[in-house]
Amino acid sequence: MRILIVFAIICLAACAAEKKIVCYYGSWSVYRPGNGKFDIGDIDPTLCTHLIYTFVGWNGNDIKVLDPWNDLPNGLDGFGRFNALRKKSPSSKTLVAVGGWNEGSVKYSKMASNQESRERFADRAVAFVKKWGFDGFDLDWEYPNQRGGSAKDVKNFIKLLKVMRQRFDRAGLILSAAVAAAELSASKSYDIAEMSKYLDFINLMAYDFHGDWEPKTGFNAPLHAAASDSYEARGLNSEAAVKYWLSKGAPNEKLILGVPTYGRTFTLANPQSYGIGAASSGAGAAGPYTKQIGMLGYYEICEMHKNGGWNVNYDEERQAPWAHQDRQWIGFDNIKSIKAKAEFAKQMGLGGAMVWSIETDDFRGICGEKYPLLKTLNAVLLNGEEVSQDQDIIGNNDIPNEVDESNNSDDSTSPDNEPRPPPPTPIGNCQTEEPAALPGSCDFVMCSSNHRGGYYETPMKCPKLLCFNPTARVCDWPKRN
């Protein structure tokens, strides 16, 4: 009997050790002001089994460095300093991610369309990873057969992964991918059973289920559906996404559940109607550090909550918190909801959890202990520890009775029958989802679609002495006359 108990303990320890905590790092966070400025030195690599540097791009012939000043040795040496984190945590692996939302889909669709370009991409990826000292490569094509891609992308994506697997095995490198989570999107883009054969692990982007592109408030990343959810909304949660991927052939141990360290925000159409499903007039106000309308980092949320005035609630059915103040509304994740997701991942036998992204957790400890969300994942998935909620933004569950949570219509009028504002048109500096110059300045804006015909413009500064190059779309040395 004693032998069996010892064996069970050893087995449990081994199983825990196999779980992954995958941490994406948004390298542009080094340009954020004040408490939001995040340096590679702020990363605690012992909290992540895998660290992924974002992003690099593809120029049609080679892997492209998107921010030379930030990434390369003649500037801030982001690649070198990121990989040096392994000195503090030798068991941690580092990867570099290609793609992302702003890179779009078209160029990857074109690259994957023939064998020669697929092989070139695979060869260039291996060469890039080895040159800069990473352990692997994360493919973040958003998304095959979407956003201007082709129906042939689904099969071509498999062909690409097959070629990459061969090259990466030869080089002894890790190959992973970030993927759309919900069936609504994933069913358009992936042959899940086939792609799973070639990837070491799959990062399920189980967030952005709801956001300001919709006419009413909703959670960024609910764990479960609610009884009042519409048929479509019942597929927009972490549980539904995981079960869909597993049902289509993804191995449990390769599937990594993504959790967000940010929330999605809305501006309420009527401050007196502020529940789940309340009418929204658009994106919430930009945060003081992330400076992007429609989202707030967890550290911004906890700092705002600490300063007072926010009413915080927790939806036990969906296992997700939300908060409101005046016309502002946030659906986000806290320690309690992250703990629930980690326990769910464990129950489903998944390979672990992923965070997007490490720099929007409370990395300075503004509200208490540093990295509360990331440490919660570690406690549940790796260490088997109890999670303290002393510093959590838990909420008081004061959901207003007058709000109809079952209102899932997409009517063009608010509950007060006031017409909604028309969709914005592409104006200002952004005309495409590419960084754009600020006229009369060396700085630039990051452009991202607001899903309603317009663009979010996030102001960014180039380092001292550099100016934005609109052709290369990077901060560069000014041309001499």
Which positions are annotated as active-site residues?
A: 142
The residues with which 270 forms a beta bridge, in sequence order, are: none
Q: Are 279 and 212 within 8 A, CB to CB?
A: no
Residue with tokens 């994740």: 333
**Which own/partner contact pairs does 68-76 have at CB distance under 8 Å and 24+ positions apart?**
68/474, 68/475, 68/476, 69/462, 69/463, 69/466, 69/474, 69/475, 70/27, 70/28, 70/30, 70/463, 71/27, 75/463, 76/30, 76/463
Angle between helices 335-347 and 238-247 (to 10 degrees): 20
The three state secondary structure string of 163-192 is HHHHHHHHHCCEEEEEEECCHHHHHHHCCH
**Which own/partner contact pairs does 73-77 have at CB distance under 8 Å and 24+ positions apart?**
75/463, 76/30, 76/463
Q: Are 335 and 312 within 8 A, CB to CB?
A: no
Rounded Cα distance between 315 and 55, Å, is 34
